[in-house]
Amino acid sequence: GIYFPDQKITVGDVEMPIVILGDLAYPLMPWLMKLYTGALDSEKELFNYRLSKCRMVVECAFGHLKARWRSLLTRSDLSETNIPIVIAACCVLHNLCETKGETFMAGWEVEANRLAADYAQPDTQAIRR
């Protein structure tokens, strides 16, 4: 209710709220869509497959952003309100670079992944406890 208050989108003929895609490390919340767990029927397996494909697109996009804008690789001291603004600015700048023909170099992502290894994320098991 804070980030997308009362906003809905229509997919096909179904109206649904805007949600954030998460993985199993996060608790299920009204605004967070995550994978099903446990014994799954074919519908839930298909849902998990499609949700995973969507998350891969998002992760790839953030990978490109982090490769082009290296400041996104490190810890940010920005306030919670400014982080979405910075990410949106990086998206706009990335799109401008692409539009002007400054193509994304695959080597950037390789280098960014190497650098990101120096900034390991905390263990998700510890976070859930």
What is the DSSP secondary-structure string of 31-63? TEE----SS--HHHHHHHHHHHHHHHHHHHHHH
| Mean pLDDT of the 107-116 span | 81
Q: Could you tell me how far CA 47 lies from the centroid of its own chain?
A: 18
Q: Quick one: pLDDT band at residue 40, thresholds 50, 70, 90? A: very high
Distance, CA of 8 to CA of 32 (rounded, Å) = 14
Reply yes or no on whether the pLDDT at 128 is more than 60.
no
| Mean pLDDT of the 80-109 span | 87
- What phi and psi, each to the nearest 5 degrees, are found at residue 4? -130, 60
What pTM did the predictor assign? 0.63
Select the more confidently predicted residue: 47 or 64: 47
| Mean pLDDT of the 100-105 span | 85
Q: Quick one: pLDDT band at residue 7, thresholds 50, 70, 90? A: confident
Reply yes or no on whether the pLDDT at 129 is more than 60.
no
